[in-house]
Structures are given as structure tokens and as C-alpha cells.
Structure 1
Amino acid sequence: MAKEKKILFLGLDAAMPDLVKKFVAEGAMPNTAKLMDQGVFSRLETVFPPLTAAAWTAIVSGAGSGTNGVPSLMVKHPGEELDHWHTSFDRNEVLCETLWDVGIKKGKKVALVNWPVTFPMGAINEENGCQLAGALNPPFRYFFMPLWDVASSACFSNKLLHCNQIPGRAVKLETKPAEGWKNLPASKKPHLEFEITVPPTYVKGYKMQVLVYASSDEGYDRMLVSESKDAKVAITDITLGEYGPWITRNFDARDYNRNGRFRFQILELSKDGKDFKLYQSSINMADPYSVPASLSKEVEKVAGTYMEVDDPWAFMDGWMSSDLYLEQLGLHANWWGTATKHVLENQAWDMAFSWVGTIDHVEHALYSGIEPTSRVYNEKTAPFCWHMIRETYRQVDQNIGKILEAVDLNETYVVLISDHGMTHLDWNPFVKEHLQRAGLLKYNLDLSTDDPSNLSIDWKHTKCHPLEPCHAHIFINLKGRDPQGIVEPKDYEKVQEEIINCLMGMKNPENGKNVVAYALKKKEAARLGIYEGPGFDRVGDVLYAWNPGYMSHPFIYRTAIKYRDGSERVRANPELYEQAILCKNFPELIKETVAENGGDHSAVCGNFTGVHLAEPTLHDMHACMLMVGPGVPKYERKFPARIIDVCPTLSKLLKIDVPKDAEGGVLYDVLDRIEK
């Protein structure tokens, strides 16, 4: 009897088919090149909206968001306030059957490595396989936050640093002569000190003392961190660029208590001790993150400590250099490759699913830098952006090679797959402000604080509210359905039309072109591949897609109007759009961007310049699939498949049932070419 074949998914978030082909041709992805020479390659049309959790759920289920229950970055449950939501990365939000659910029923062993929408632990138990971590794991509770588990990164400096995400993360302070310390290390210059709180914002932090000293005659070169003024019990003692040891502490977050893990790194330290930047990494979960629990320690011995996410925000805000961020991306890719290889070699498995997200992050930061149609594209800075993106693909490819060392292609189908493509970003429309001016929403802004939660909704005068963070779905405040509903059911379609008119009336502030590609009523959702399945009541009353170059802005900022006498008045920001700015780290980029902003260096602040919110059918929004294995020939499909077709096709290939909720079809042109 023929031995049953295994299958290994390698999920490469945001890997773009054209870039994969380009880097393969250039020799930057030799391992992928070998696979392309012997396997099936296809472009894939992704789901609507083309977002991470929605797309990865569709890949493993064959079902779109009307069925799988994951409609966007966030999930709104019926009957809850319109501005209340749940993270879509919580596996408990998934309403459909997955490929591994079917496999387990057939007695197959499943291995999940950092796969999205599989956290909290428990998607797999010890009887049917193993699980290691879960990318973008909950609690990803507050949409304006970067992705972490306890708290974000922070930077302590004598300079006022940019901080495009979360006020309070960049802390300005000064060194002063050290006083009251015990067991001081030898120093060629007088010891200096400053106090920090870790983390400085979001959750209650720990007070820590930082000692700056000079181990040589050249000047200050080391920092020591202690929770008391006793250098003998220091938790970190590092020099410039060096990574400190991982530190575990218990944190009281807003809605839970758990252990978190972080470390320090000196990003800058002048010889006179005046200029410095001390970086605190994101505080990632330190509680068990594997099934069985022992697997976490096993993997840490070979791959190092699990970090939930790299930190593009520190790079975009100019805290860390491009070289250092590229190194950080490499650390994540290496953890992925080493951890995956260890699981494949040491755990029983028939079906394995492993994911890496570094390509997505570098493209979010720099994609406009390689896209000539972007308003921030510059020929002088394009080589730098190409280098960063190419090297990230190269890092991932190196680890694909590492993983394949543990795989027998004569008995295993290997599927390299991505979830969506990427487009440039020019402008962030303030969606709530647009809706307010159209008389559809009324907000109140607390002008006394910069906290992003300073905005509240006046429900008595609000007809609709977007699903945070204002991507793709808008819900009507319907009487009899929603807690504070004001729209009469008879006026439901009228308000839908008012919302659509508002969205389609939004124009590019420079050229007057539409920023929204289309906006549809919920009853038309099938045109977007959203059908009336178990998750349909989570779908907005109006759905819309952005044209390339746009991503909604969920905030309303405060702004100050200054008068000649020095006084000022604070009010809500009246702007309708915020421009995207390519991050500031590349010296030539700073020069060019400053010139474009009238010489104002303060205007040079990094934010996303790549997004994936445009129509899924667009060329640049395509994902890709590369499959190799026993009997699989070299073959490139002429036309794109749909991302929901992958699961049914592989189910047939493995001779198992198609997940019962699948909506996709079988790619018989692929199956018919595989030797049985």
C-alpha cells in the first residue's frame, strides 16, 4: 500500500509574485528558484478585504469572510456597541472548518508553527499534534497599537524623538551625576544616571535605574540597568549595539495579568555621555506558548527566544538605523526557519503550517519607495528601498532552504503561499471626519489629552460608525438592532446610499480623483465573494474598497492654533487627509523630504507607505502559490486562481474531505498534471 503523503505550508506574508520572480531571476532567492524549477506556480486573487487574518483564514478553510467569520482586522459581534470590536487574530472568532480540522478527523498529526489566527493555545492538543506560538496573537486589542502581547517598544533619549505610534513611547530625559549607588563598576569618567519606567505607557511599568559609565579612556561606552541603585544586581550591562539579556516581569495590563519579556539595546551613546538612545524592545509574552509546553524550551535552545513581532515602527520613526532593522528582520526570519526545522525533525506530523511576517513589515514601511506611481517615490532613494526589501526576501529564502533540509520532497507536498500583495500609500483619509461632515457621525474630542482614546461618539446624532480601523465595513446605527440605534428600519437603504455618496465623494486633495474604488450595500456583498454564511451578520451594512494609494486614518488629532502674542487655542484637527511620508532613516531621504516640506525637519516622520486595502483583483494585490512534491511538474498557470481554491485543491490531492464550509473550487488543471 502506498505511503500517504505529507503536506507542509510555508506562509510568507505579503510575498508578491512579481517580486518573487524578480528576486529569483537576480539570484537573491536561490532556494525558491530551485522550487520554481520543479513545481507549480500561480498568482492568487485574495479575499475582500485583503487583510492578514481574513486571508490566512480563507487559505486554510476555502471560505470567505461571510462564512469564516473573520471580516477584517477586527470583528464586530451583533448586539454590541458599534465602536466595540474583537481582534480577528483570535482563533475563537473563526466559525468555519479548517484543513487541519479535517486532517485530525482522519487521524493525521498536525504541526502549527507561528500560524496566524491560532492563538490562544489549544487549536491543537498533544494527542493530534503540536503547536508553537501564534503570529499576531491576541490580545491585539487596540487597533492604534503595534502588534505585541503586553506592551510596545520604547526609546529613552535626551532628544525629542518622533513617535508616530502611541504617545509616550518616546521619552525625553537627561543624564545627571550618579548618586546613592552601591558596587559601582570602574569608570574612567564620572558615573552618570537617569531613571526610566518600563514600559513608559500603556500598562503599569517598573521603575528602573540606568547607570552610564566609561570602561576605557575614550569616553562613555556602557549602560547598566538595575531595579535598585545597586550595580551588583544589574539586570543589564551592555555597550553600544549589544543586545542585553531577556528580562521577564509580571504585568498588570488593562484586562489581564501575565508575564512579559523584553530586553535593552543602546542605539546611541556619545563619548561625552550627553547624547544617547536606550531602546526597550516590545514586551512579548513570556507565558507558555506551545503544545506540549515543553516544546517552548526545546525550541529556545536551538532558535532563541520567541519574539512576537519585529519593530518597523522604531525604524520608521528613526530610532534605529536601517542596518539594525534589517538585522532585526533577520533574527525573526532565522527564528522561524530554525524553529520550523526543529519541529519538523522532532515532532510527529502529517500536515504542517508555518508562517513568517517579515516581508509584510518591510513592504509596509518602504513599498512606496520602489513604486514609481507613488507621490513619495524618488529615484535617489529607490536603491535603498529596493535593497531593504530584497534583503528581507533573501533572509526568508535562506530559511526556506534550512527548513527544506528536514523535508523529503518524494513524500511531502510543500506549498509556499502568501496572503495578499501590496500597493503604495499616498494619503490617509480621516474617515470619521468625512462622515461627520456628511452628517452621518458625530464625535466628541477631549482636547486635554493626546491619548488616542480621547474620542467618544455622540450616539444620539450618529447614523453610522466604521469598523475599526475604518477598513472596508461601515455599520448603520439601526434602531431595534443596535444598542443605541437611531436609524429607523424604513430609512436603512436611504442611509446606506448617504454613506455610499459620502465615500464616493472623497477626492484626492491634489488631483481630485476618487479615493474609494467602489462602495456597495450589504445585499450586494456576493459581488465581493462575501456570501450569507455563519459570519454574514459580522459584515458591514456598507462595504467599500480603496483605490491604490489610500488607507483610512482612524484618529482625530488635536491641533493648536498659535496667536501673535504667544497664546494658543486647541481644537480638533480640521484636515481631511494626512499625507504618507517615507521613513526618515536614509540620509538622502531626509534631505529630500525636508526640502519637500519647506525645510521643516520636524515634518520628517515615518509612517506606512505600503498597504493592502485595494481591490483584490488588481495585479499588485495578487498573492502567490508555489507547490512542489511527488509527481508535481513544472507548470505556471496562465491566469490567477482564487485564494479560496487552494484548500479544496489540496484536500483532493491528499484524498481527504474538503472542509465543509469551503466556497472555493478545485484547480483540476493542477491536479491533472500531477503524476499519481
Structure 2
Amino acid sequence: MKRPALTNKVLVLGIDGMDPKISRKFLAQGKMPNLQKLIERGAAREDLTLLGAIPTITPPCWTTLATGAYPGTHGITCYWRQSPESLDAVVYNMDSRNCRAEQIWNITAEAGLKTLVWHWPGSSWPPTSDSENLNVVDGTQPGSVNMGVAQLDWEKVIVATPDIDEVRYAPRVEKPAGVGCIISDLEGTLDLDEEVDDEMMELWWGDKARQGGEIRTYVMDDEDTEVVIGSKVAYDIINSPLREAKGWANAPEGAKEFTILTSGGVMRRPALILKNEAGEYDRVAIYKNKKAETPIVVLEKGKMVTGIIDDVTKKEVTKPACRSMKILELDPAGNKVRLWISNALDISNDQLWHPRTLYKEIVENVGHVPPVSLIGGEDDELVREIFEPSWRLYNKWQADALNYCIKEKGYQVVFSHLHNVDCAGHQLWHLAKTLPEWSHTDEKTYQGFIEKFYEQTDEYIGEFLHLLDEDWTVLLVSDHGLIVGENVPPILGEYGGLNTKVMEELGYTVLKKDENGNTLREVDWEKTRAVQIRSNYIYINLKGRDKYGIVDPKDKYELEEQIINDLYNYRDHRTGRRVVGICLRNKDAVLLGTHGPECGDIFFSIEEGHNRLHGDSISTSEGYFDTSVSPIFVAAGPGIKAGFKTDRIIRQVDVAPSISVLLGLRFPAQCEGAPIYQIFSEEV
């Protein structure tokens, strides 16, 4: 039976990590006027919430939104996939070929609707339909478009003063808060031929993860947790003398020179600080060499510039790349300059664009993909001056790119994803409450940064409101929210790898020791009965199933019961409170949609109050500073009641079938949700 369509054009605006609870807070303060307009013109629950799938992790939730199926059904059950060979290892998971449920965009494309899937992480790449109506951009990692494959060089801070006597390069320096960037103790630490990759970038968002090998990460203490690693400030530092300009073909009068090193320290770029008409230094000009007549770029104080194209060398191959830059500090008297240079993105890399010609068209008509910063963390100056503004630039580029596609390319259905809030969450949100571990930071400062990211998100939403007057139906959704943690969580439920500490305390996981009694990052499988890996899963080390299994299958049920009892009885030594919220056998976890062969023998969640940002909790968990793990949902435009509030519980599995009804199409084959018929303008 074919249904009449309620609309002919649908835009799904996906904002990773957008939380309805804190959105309501900023709405009440008048700080999100565009979201307010969308709500007034459309329909939602009063609290704006969407009941999220579990686990509350990016790939499973976006895949649930796309398929209308729960993670246990579609098979994308965490950020990583469990290694089929090892209980202590994970493998890459953001691959559409791992998804066992049909995606809604295949239905729209095969129905003749020109469809664009833009950077939807989890189940969009590679494209899963041969229809010429389906175009797909990236989706292999959640950061920003092309981030995983086009990265050529890392971020840098250049410091130049007259007191520095020679050019020095230090890769990936972790800069403690409050310490300057002048390096005086590099002897014996520098090797300019050494290739230094950023571990976090390559592991979580980079190309290495996609090679198919096992990733083995042991989370043994707080320093191993993703939120601590992600908040560390690590970037290349270049120190340079600042001197009178000499040997230049065209240096303005009074200019002073310094040197920039890129490409792992092997490529030099001369630069000048320049005077204005008042005789004060206020600009930086960067050149390819001193003989060049014109600079690569001229930077003004206080303004971030993107779209800067320069050559970058990586592994002895030189390619043109796009960078952003900003002056952090420039003494008007010309005695110091401090400059930030972004990571470099290969401008020729179109491998994650289908068709590839779309990349060229976007670059020619909108501009090159702007690199986003991944530094900041506990250095509030870098967050304020670099991290947040770089995402604001990227948001505008993405909005322009999507609007260009809609206006000039004739797309009728667009599924889009933006990662600004979630990226900031993993660097900053934990600093919005003063805990002993973060006592050197000011929670009010970081609460202000949260506000900034929601304001920039509201600007992004505003870029698409015009579509409501052009017969488009717009759905605003997210995968999960992000909490500000109330406490420092115990080592349980960290989604990046094997969580050892609590399972060691309970006697289920045993690590090997060296000859001096020091604990090694290696499981003693002869003594280990169970391990906790990924966000919510415990695996029994089962004989006959697992490589080093020691538990007899006949004892599995009883052991599961013992583990569940011990987890419910476990108390955090810092707070004395229960740590585990829900704990179920795999067969019982069907109640939550976290069952089946891609899930562990036991599913558990962390109790509210001990949660990380997201992932280890159920989607209704709440945190400090009016934050929650719940996702958001608002819909407006043709087919949707205007100014309407519903009491219905709206689930992530309901989004895909609702899109089907709006467009008059069939439901995805494995869909487990139901249309949100209460918000439709016509009876269905």
C-alpha cells in the first residue's frame, strides 16, 4: 500500500552531542534564537528530548537514526567493534558493511529522490546502494569532513623574540597550563627526521584505524581515560629569532623577520611582522621564500584566516594543503610574535566523496575544507582563541556547502551530521565542574565555553531556516547529549578499550607482572575469567569459544550471576556510592536492544553520578550544569504541525519510519520503530 507524501523535501540536521536539557537552559536565556524559531514553527516534546538508543555512543545511535533498528539488530554496538580474535582488542567499526539493517537513504534514493548523505558516522560509507540518486560524503569518523584521510601535518605554535638565538622545533609538546612556549631544554630530544604522529588523532579519527588490524588499549587508571587524553594540550612548538629583515626581495621598511617550520620540521617558511601607518606592528606576512614578490598570506591581529594553501611534505611526498592561521600575540613594538598554524589537509584527497566530482564542485564554489583545531583542553587561551573559532569557521563552511548542494545540485533529501558540540565535549565538558583532578581550571570559564559552542550551533541552525519557506521539512536530531560529570568515574565503562581496574579488584581480570612485580599491560589469560571492554560489555573467557578460554560453558550462567551480583554491590571508594546502574545477561538485554552476537555476554550501565560524558550510561542520565545524555528532537515544515507539543515518548528508532511516512515511502526492512504520527499535520 502506497501512502501519499506529506512533503517532497526533507533535511535532517544532525548535531552530534546536542543536549535538549542545556539547550532549554540557553533558550530561556535568549541565547538560541534560531532554535526557538524552529520550535515555534514545528513540533516537539515540551522537553525537546529524544529517547536515545543504547549504548549512547556516536556510531550506534546514528545508525539507529538511519535504520529505525536497535543496535542489537543493526549490529553497530559501540564506537569500536569487538575483535573476533581477542577479548582484549577492538577493531574499526565505522563501516557500512558492518550494518545489518537497511538505511533510510537507500529507500529515498531508490524511490527516485536525489539524496545526499553528508558525514553521517557509523553506517554511511561506503555507499550501500548503486542508485545514481545516492551521493555520500565521508562518514568514516565523526570529526570533520576529510579529517581521517587528508591529514598531512599537525598544529603548531610559533614563538619569535629577539632573545631566541636559533630556530628550534619540538614536536607534540604537552604544554602545562600557564607555561610559556619558549623552549630552552631541547638538547637530546630533537630528531627532525623522526616522524611523530598524534596518537589520539590517528587512533580515534585517523586512517590507521581503518587498516583492519587490532587496536589494543588498556585503561588502567585515570591517565588512560579518553577524556584526560583528549584534554591534553599537545602541539608542535617552533622557536625562532626575531630580527631585522635582511636579504628579502620586497620587505617593507621596518619589517622584522622570523622563521616558521612545518612538515615535521623539514620545510621552512620565512615570515615578516609589519608596521601599520601609526608605526605599530599589527600584521604577519608569510612567504614561500625571501625572493617571493607576494606572501602566501597576510594575517591581521584578532582574525583567523582559513583557505591558506601551501605545500606540505609527509613521508617524502609533497602535496598542496589547506591550513588556517591566527596571530595569538604581537607586540606593537615588535619584540614578540606568537602565531598558531592549524593542521594541514591534503586538498587533492577526494577518496571519501561519491561521486568524486562533488568534492571538486564544492571546493570551486564554496571553498576548501577548513581544518578544525583539536588543541585547547586545559589551556583556556587556546580554547578561546583557536579551538572555538576554528569550529565556527568550519560550521559556516559546512552550512554553505549544504545550502549550495540544495540550491544548485537539486537534492531532495539530505542527511547531515555536524560534530562541533561533541568534539568540544570530549575536550572541555569535564572542566565545567571543579573536581580535585581539575582544580587548576576555573569551572565558570569552561561553562562559558559550553555556552559558546551552543551559540555557534544556533548560528548553524539559522543557516537553514530559510528552507522552511521553500517547502522543506527540517528535522533536528542528535545521537546523544553530553554531561558534565559529577565525580571522577571509576575505571569501568571507558569505551576506548579494556577496562582493568574494577575487574581486577573483583578478581575476574588478572594482569601479568614483570620480574619486579610491576603490572604489565597484558592479560594473564590462564587466570582471567572475564574482561570488561568497550563501553558497556563484559565477556566471559569461555572455553571452546575464546582463544584462551578457561571457563567451562556449563559454568557460564552461574559466573554471569556472580559477576552481576558483584557489580551491583561494587562501591566507589571516593564516594561510597553504587557504581553500576543496570546489569543484564545478553539474552535479557534484548529489553534494551543491546543483545545478540555483537554485544557482550553481560551488558551494564554506569549509575547516574559516576558517568563520563556519554556512552557508559542510559540516555536519561543527567549531570552537572543542567546537562544530560538525552538527544534532541524538533521537526518543522510541510507535514508537521506548527507550534505543537506532544506528550509521546519519541525514540531514535522512530525517526526513520517518520521520514518514510513524510515522503510516502516504505519503512526500512529491519525497522523496529513507529512513525511519530502525533506531530503530523494529517492523519496517517
TM class by smaller structure: 0.7 to 0.9
Deviation at 1:52, TM superposition (A): 1.2
Q: 3-state SS of the aligned residue for 2:574?
A: coil
How many Å separate the matches in 2 of 1:339 and 1:33?
A: 24
Give the one of 481, 499, 522 matched to 2:586: 522
Q: 3-state SS of the aligned residue for 1:306?
A: coil
In 1, are the aligned partners of 2:376 and 2:382 still within 8 Å (CA)?
Answer: yes
Q: Are 2:117 and 1:112 aligned?
A: yes
Question: Identity over aligned residues, as a percent?
Answer: 23
Distance 1:191 1:340, change over 3 A: closer
Give 1:429's aligned amino acid: P
Deviation at 1:386, TM superposition (A): 4.8
Deviation at 1:249, TM superposition (A): 4.3
Give 2:96's aligned amino acid: R
Q: What is the CA deviation profile of residues 15-65 of structure 1, one whole-angstrom value per residue up to 9, with x for unaligned ones?
A: 222333343344333333223223210321101111111111101111111
Give 2:655's aligned amino acid: V
Q: Which has the higher mean CA deviation after the structures are superposed, 630-639 or 8-17? A: 630-639
Q: Which has the higher mean CA deviation after the structures are superposed, 435-444 or 101-110? A: 435-444
Q: Are 2:543 and 1:479 aligned?
A: yes
How many Å separate the matches in 2 of 1:332 and 1:104?
A: 28
Q: Are 2:664 and 1:655 aligned?
A: yes
Q: Are 2:530 and 1:464 aligned?
A: yes
Q: What is the CA deviation profile of residues 512-557 of structure 1, one whole-angstrom value per residue up to 9, with x for unaligned ones?
A: 11222232222221132234xxxx21111222212234457xxxxx
In 2, are the aligned partners of 1:49 and 1:71 still within 8 Å (CA)?
Answer: yes
How many Å separate the matches in 2 of 1:220 and 1:34?
A: 41
Q: What is aligned with 2:155?
A: 154
Q: What is aligned with 1:129?
A: 134
In 1, are the aligned partners of 2:152 and 2:313 still within 8 Å (CA)?
Answer: no
In 2, are the aligned partners of 1:515 and 1:547 still within 8 Å (CA)?
Answer: yes
How many Å separate the matches in 2 of 1:210 and 1:446?
A: 48
Distance 1:46 1:149, change over 3 A: farther
Deviation at 1:366, TM superposition (A): 4.6
Q: Are 2:478 and 1:418 aligned?
A: yes
Deviation at 1:119, TM superposition (A): 5.5
TM-score normalised by the chain length of structure 2: 0.73
Deviation at 1:489, TM superposition (A): 2.1
How many Å separate the matches in 2 of 1:444 and 1:187?
A: 67
Q: Are 2:659 and 1:630 aligned?
A: no
Q: What is the CA deviation profile of residues 529-587 of structure 1, one whole-angstrom value per residue up to 9, with x for unaligned ones?
A: 234xxxx21111222212234457xxxxxxxxxxxxxxxxxxxxxxxxxxxxxxxxxxx
How many Å separate the matches in 1 of 2:229 and 2:125?
A: 26
How many Å separate the matches in 2 of 1:151 and 1:484?
A: 40
How many Å separate the matches in 2 of 1:240 and 1:110?
A: 42
- Please tell me the root mean square deviation across aligned C-alpha atoms, in Å: 4.3
Give 1:432's aligned amino acid: T
Give 2:53's aligned amino acid: V
Distance 1:3 1:274, change over 3 A: closer
How many Å separate the matches in 1 of 2:412 and 2:369?
A: 24
Distance 1:294 1:364, change over 3 A: same
How many Å separate the matches in 1 of 2:638 and 2:123?
A: 29
Give 1:352's aligned amino acid: V
Deviation at 1:653, TM superposition (A): 3.4
Give 2:600's aligned amino acid: G
How many Å separate the matches in 1 of 2:96 and 2:143?
A: 9
Length, aligned pairs only: 587
How many Å separate the matches in 1 of 2:401 and 2:37?
A: 22
Deviation at 1:268, TM superposition (A): 4.0
Q: Are 2:417 and 1:355 aligned?
A: yes
Q: What is the CA deviation profile of residues 411-466 of structure 1, one whole-angstrom value per residue up to 9, with x for unaligned ones?
A: x322111222222223143331222343333446999xxxxxx9444444433333
* 1:184-583 alignment, distance < 5 Å: 185=251, 188=254, 191-193=257-259, 196=261, 198=263, 205=264, 207-209=266-268, 211=270, 213-216=272-275, 222=284, 224=286, 238=299, 242-243=304-305, 245-247=308-310, 249=312, 251=314, 261-268=322-329, 276=338, 278-281=340-343, 283=345, 286-288=348-350, 289-307=352-370, 310-311=372-373, 313-318=375-380, 320-367=382-429, 384-406=445-467, 408=469, 410=471, 412-425=472-485, 426-430=487-491, 431-443=499-511, 455-467=521-533, 470-497=534-561, 499-500=563-564, 503-504=567-568, 506-531=570-595, 536-550=596-610
Q: What is aligned with 1:600?
A: none
TM-score normalised by the chain length of structure 1: 0.74
How many Å separate the matches in 1 of 2:417 and 2:513?
A: 40
Unpaired stretches in structure 1, ≥5 consecutive residues: 141-145, 199-204, 448-453, 553-609
How many Å separate the matches in 2 of 1:526 and 1:12?
A: 28
How many Å separate the matches in 2 of 1:138 and 1:396?
A: 15
How many Å separate the matches in 2 of 1:471 and 1:405?
A: 40
Q: What is the CA deviation profile of residues 613-643 of structure 1, one whole-angstrom value per residue up to 9, with x for unaligned ones?
A: 3222346332222112224223212243211
Distance 1:618 1:285, change over 3 A: farther
Q: Are 2:73 and 1:67 aligned?
A: yes
How many Å separate the matches in 1 of 2:521 and 2:262?
A: 27
Q: Are 2:102 and 1:97 aligned?
A: yes
In 1, are the aligned partners of 2:120 and 2:416 still within 8 Å (CA)?
Answer: yes
Q: What is the CA deviation profile of residues 283-328 of structure 1, one whole-angstrom value per residue up to 9, with x for unaligned ones?
A: 57751143332222322344332247x4354244446141443322
Q: What is the CA deviation profile of residues 312-366 of structure 1, one whole-angstrom value per residue up to 9, with x for unaligned ones?
A: 5424444614144332221122122111111111223332112222233344445
Give 2:137's aligned amino acid: L
Q: 3-state SS of the aligned residue for 1:632?
A: coil
How many Å separate the matches in 2 of 1:215 and 1:69?
A: 58
Distance 1:18 1:211, change over 3 A: same
